[in-house]
Structure 1
Amino acid sequence: MTKTESASGNAAVAKGAAGAGLTLAAVAVVQFMVSLDLSVVNVALPDIGSDLGFSESGLTWVIHAYALAFGGLLLLGGKIADRYGHKRILMIGLPLFGLGSLLGGFAQEPGQLVATRAAQGVGAAALAPAALALLASTFPEGKPRVKAFGVWSAMNAAGGALGVLIGGLLTEYAGWEWVMFVNVPLVVGAMYLAWRGVAPDRPVARRVQPDVVGAVLATAGMSLLVFGVVRTDRHPWSSSETLTTLGIAVVLLAAFVIVERTTSRDPLIRLGLFANRSVAGANAYTLLLGGAMASSFYFVSLYLQRVLDSGPAKTGVQFLPFAFGVVVGSVLAVKLGYKIAPRKLLVGGGLLTAVGFTWFGLLSADGSFAVDVLGPSIVTSIGIGLCLAPAVSVATAGVAAEETGSASGLLNSTRQIGASLGLAALGTAANDRTGDTLTPESLTDGYGLGMTIGGVIVLAAVLLALTVLPRTGAQAQATEAEASGAEPAQPNQDLLAERD
């Protein structure tokens, strides 16, 4: 090899490393932004309601409009990203999300804000699976993959936890409009990083037409499922409205499965993916963990404000230990991921999270932040940080490159549905325990019950990890990939091999 060839090779390697770094940075900003938007609005809701004239029931749609569009369109977003190129769809979803955020800050009436929140959800449904697919394809194996997914998980959970802090500070010192405006510079930064660092990926060439019927059925079914769940705050689970909505959703989703099995067109998601135990197990685990996580933010925020009388800004500051704990857990997941299989991290992290939830269940009506919140916040958040990256890595392992967007969209959809189902179910249980008399004692009883049930749900996720996820690593996933029709992933002993 000549010196010129050697120099050219080194330059190519350096350029590739720089591009991978920018891709990771872009995906990290995107995930932080999407996660932030799920929580940043919560603390601002009272000010939004009084300023724009929302009714008490109508105010909940500031949250639900985003969740409904996001959760209902994630599968379709993942498929579109696979078909037309992950970078292309990312660069379309980002400005749509940013425009919705900008217009939301200028909203003058309830309908305008709800519409812009829905637009944010549509943009998030396009960019979230595309970003995660780019991460999976850029870091397919080895230590860089462990580190990349560790960064992703830290940004994902930190966005949700810091959203409460950022929302409280902005609401109290700048006005509720800024919980919407804050996304605009994040969008600009992510677009710049993606434009500079993400290499254009070649769209999958397919001769068959896309499965339009399946896309409509899946989107309608998922949307109705989320819609039915989020309305349980007004219509109980046993009400005719809720049962009818959820029944129609189940029928539509069943029809979607039938269409996917029989269609001659390009399916929205290939059902053979579920033959991969890693994909199926990771999604089931994420469904349960997502429900428990959503309840933790909700109940702890209400306990701090309604029982301990913390204001919006103070509540946000008190969530900082939770955010830092997630980062610590994510860093530990990276370091341990070089030596310990993802399955073991999911079990260990899940057990630690369950301990934290059980501790939260001991909340006291005459307690304090230092005694009742700080300790369980640290334990729970470190456990969650240990779980997030391994779950994503397992869910995309052994999946063919042209299906990473679909697998990513499926996982994001699972997390969103889990959060909606979990929060609605645990919220109902907490409200039943609280009763009609709202005192610090009754409220604390309700919140404590909700957190205790959350701990049981996390234990169920641990049991799934022990029984469903494969014990062996790369070899088992390669075999499952072949059985399900996907290209086997390259062996990755550092990340996947089980160490006993």
Structure 2
Amino acid sequence: MRRSPWATLVVLALAQFMVVLDVTIVNVALPDMQADLGFSSDDLQWVISAYTLAFGGFLLLGGRLGDVLGRRRVFAGGLAIFTAASLVGGLATSQWFLVGARSVQGFGGALMSAAALSILTVTYAAGRERNIAMGIWGGLAGLGGTLGVVAGGVLVDVAGWEWVFFVNVPIGVVLLLLTPSTVADSRVTSDGPRSFDVAGAALGTGAVLAVIYGVIRAEPLGWGSAEVIGSLVAGILLLALFLLTESRSAAPLVPLRLFRSRTLSRSTLVLALNGGAFLAMFFLTAIFLQQGKGLSALETGLEFLPMGIAAIVGAMVATQVLPRIGTRPTQVVSAVVSLLGLLLLSRASADGSYVTELLPGLVLYGAGIMGVGVPAQITALSEVAHEDAGAASGVINTGYQVGGALGLAVISTLATSATTSALTGGASVQAALTDGFQRGLLLTAVLGGAILVLAALSRQLVPSPDEIAELAAA
């Protein structure tokens, strides 16, 4: 059966649009979820972290399953899981019911996203055709993140927080119906190992979960408590088992030889820090705008919109200047712009003006974040052998997701501690929330400073426009 490659692109790009949309659309609904389901300030971050951890933890497994079982089958399976978990999330009546649904949603998103990218790669020949497809894929993903904050605000204010999940259901069902007729199946046909390394995915994800749980529980219990120490030790042991498993696996999710490349390791760290800074900034600002400044969900979404537009513009500018000045200057300038944005945001107050206190910081941060990420992706793959390119791409995407979850856990926990301390000292709720927000943004700026240092030490490359189009989308 002959299938139009552009019909394939529409289905795959809309699926990725839905996955990215889900990251931002949920943020503006957090205060309503907290009020309705009784989340504590510490536990609320699990609504975000459960999704990003499962997504990052199983992204590599999703790619491997697609290679062995068939990419269309894995894509459709991931899409079905994501859609069903969205329905369950909207029906959740307790906080951990919702967190569980978000974990399953992240797992489905990982399978779907990894398989979709592989399908795009084999559907379009290298060169202009693939670059156009990847550009549309990446552009729709970026648009999903931008529209999510506004769509989330509308849905929460008009219908309730449940609809930020229910909205995925009809889209997912339609895409599932279209997949058999629009997406061709493919798989790797080599005689190499056909194992899945499920143990590696479970151990890696479990290690990060244990560490994050320990960090979060340290705020109410103290770092010396048995629960916190036990969780952190468990995380370290699981990480050791993960490394041992990967070193002995015939088909590891993460070939450890990749980390002999200092460039790959350093670039992955930059992307992890970038993910942590972004999720922490987004989470804290969404809470501050609604609980500290008293805005509605829709008003919050609209105030985030300039940041999303700035990010799209920043990505366009970065792709234009990279072939002229190279990766290091682009990354350094973008890191400075992002850091300045975070420092400006950290000075915002509950009764201050949006135009003077929040808008400049949001625009600067949005403009700089893509100029950090795109060069990091390009340099990360610069020393990787062709046969390891897929695994390396999975590693850096996983690094971004896991770094985001870890950064969010540490920064939001310390911000909550500042809020609690201020309340204990007799501050008003509004003043305490402002204290927590400002501390959180300053800590996020510390991540931004680390990104700047790493950017200054990064390898200088001058990529071609074709390399930028393909690698930035991946």
TM tier relative to shorter chain:
0.7 to 0.9
Q: Distance in 1 between matches of 2:218 and 2:145?
A: 23
Q: Distance in 1 between matches of 2:307 and 2:251?
A: 43
Shift of the 140–341 alpha-carbon distance from structure 1 to 2, 3 Å rule, reads farther
Unaligned 5+ runs, structure 2 = 469-474
Q: Distance in 2 between matches of 1:193 and 1:420?
A: 33
SS state at 1:41 partner: helix
Deviations 1:308-336 (A, max 9, x none): 22122211111111111111112223333
**Post-superposition shift, 1:138?**
6.2
**Post-superposition shift, 1:154?**
4.8
Q: Distance in 2 between matches of 1:454 and 1:189?
A: 39
SS state at 1:470 partner: coil
Amino acid at match of 2:436: G
Shift of the 229–89 alpha-carbon distance from structure 1 to 2, 3 Å rule, reads farther
**Post-superposition shift, 1:358?**
1.6
Q: Does 1:217 align with 2:203?
A: yes
Amino acid at match of 1:450: G
**Post-superposition shift, 1:135?**
5.0
Shift of the 299–153 alpha-carbon distance from structure 1 to 2, 3 Å rule, reads farther
Please give the residue correspondences for 1:237-256 in structure 2 after superposition, counting only pairs within 5 Å: 237=223, 239-256=225-242
Aligned residues: CA RMSD = 3.5
Residue 79 of structure 1 is aligned with which of 46, 49, 64? Answer: 64
Amino acid at match of 1:444: T
**1:147–1:334 contact (8 Å) kept in structure 2:** no
Q: Does 1:301 align with 2:286?
A: yes
Q: Does 1:324 align with 2:309?
A: yes
**1:97–1:119 contact (8 Å) kept in structure 2:** yes
Shift of the 284–109 alpha-carbon distance from structure 1 to 2, 3 Å rule, reads closer
**Post-superposition shift, 1:349?**
1.9
Residue 470 of structure 1 is aligned with which of 459, 466, 472? Answer: 459
Q: Distance in 2 between matches of 1:268 and 1:398?
A: 19
Q: Distance in 1 between matches of 2:125 and 2:385?
A: 11
Which residue matches 2:257? 272
Q: Distance in 1 between matches of 2:241 and 2:94?
A: 38
**1:47–1:176 contact (8 Å) kept in structure 2:** yes
Q: Does 1:363 align with 2:348?
A: yes
**Post-superposition shift, 1:66?**
2.7
Q: Does 1:291 align with 2:276?
A: yes
Residue 125 of structure 1 is aligned with which of 97, 110, 113? Answer: 110
Deviations 1:190-225 (A, max 9, x none): 557765665533325344352455444334324433
Deviations 1:452-477 (A, max 9, x none): 3322312322322332x433467xxx
Which residue matches 1:454? 444
Q: Distance in 1 between matches of 2:7 and 2:328?
A: 29
Amino acid at match of 1:471: Q
SS state at 1:436 partner: helix
Q: Distance in 1 between matches of 2:328 and 2:175?
A: 32
Which residue matches 1:373? 358
**Post-superposition shift, 1:382?**
1.0
SS state at 2:371 partner: helix
Residue 161 of structure 2 is aligned with which of 176, 191, 196? Answer: 176
Q: Distance in 2 between matches of 1:461 and 1:175?
A: 38
Q: Does 1:29 align with 2:14?
A: yes
**2:210–2:232 contact (8 Å) kept in structure 1:** yes
Shift of the 366–147 alpha-carbon distance from structure 1 to 2, 3 Å rule, reads farther
Q: Distance in 2 between matches of 1:400 and 1:194?
A: 33
Residue 409 of structure 1 is aligned with which of 383, 386, 394? Answer: 394
Shift of the 422–169 alpha-carbon distance from structure 1 to 2, 3 Å rule, reads same
**2:49–2:405 contact (8 Å) kept in structure 1:** no
Please give the residue correspondences for 1:91-102 in structure 2 after superposition, counting only pairs within 5 Å: 91-102=76-87
Shift of the 163–234 alpha-carbon distance from structure 1 to 2, 3 Å rule, reads farther
SS state at 1:40 partner: helix
Please give the residue correspondences for 1:344-355 in structure 2 after superposition, counting only pairs within 5 Å: 344-355=329-340
Q: Does 1:383 align with 2:368?
A: yes
Stretch deviating more after TM superposition (316-325 or 297-306): 297-306
Amino acid at match of 1:458: G
Shift of the 134–286 alpha-carbon distance from structure 1 to 2, 3 Å rule, reads farther
**2:343–2:441 contact (8 Å) kept in structure 1:** yes
Amino acid at match of 2:226: S
Amino acid at match of 1:125: A
Stretch deviating more after TM superposition (192-201 or 311-320): 192-201
Amino acid at match of 2:259: F
Please give the residue correspondences for 1:126-165 in structure 2 after superposition, counting only pairs within 5 Å: 126-134=111-119, 154-165=139-150
Q: Distance in 2 between matches of 1:117 and 1:314?
A: 25
Amino acid at match of 1:445: D
**2:30–2:287 contact (8 Å) kept in structure 1:** no
Shift of the 234–33 alpha-carbon distance from structure 1 to 2, 3 Å rule, reads farther
Q: Distance in 1 between matches of 2:322 and 2:11?
A: 23
Residue 203 of structure 1 is aligned with which of 179, 188, 192? Answer: 188
**TM-score (norm. length: structure 1):** 0.79
**Post-superposition shift, 1:414?**
1.3
Which residue matches 1:66? 51
Q: Does 1:257 align with 2:243?
A: yes
**Post-superposition shift, 1:267?**
1.8
**2:212–2:409 contact (8 Å) kept in structure 1:** no
Q: Aligned pairs, how many?
A: 461
Shift of the 399–32 alpha-carbon distance from structure 1 to 2, 3 Å rule, reads farther
Which residue matches 1:428? 413
**1:392–1:411 contact (8 Å) kept in structure 2:** yes
SS state at 1:218 partner: helix
**TM-score (norm. length: structure 2):** 0.83
Amino acid at match of 1:470: R
Shift of the 266–289 alpha-carbon distance from structure 1 to 2, 3 Å rule, reads same
Which residue matches 1:115? 100
**1:150–1:389 contact (8 Å) kept in structure 2:** no
**Post-superposition shift, 1:126?**
1.3
Amino acid at match of 1:93: G
Amino acid at match of 1:410: V
Q: Distance in 1 between matches of 2:338 and 2:128?
A: 25
Q: Distance in 2 between matches of 1:148 and 1:340?
A: 26
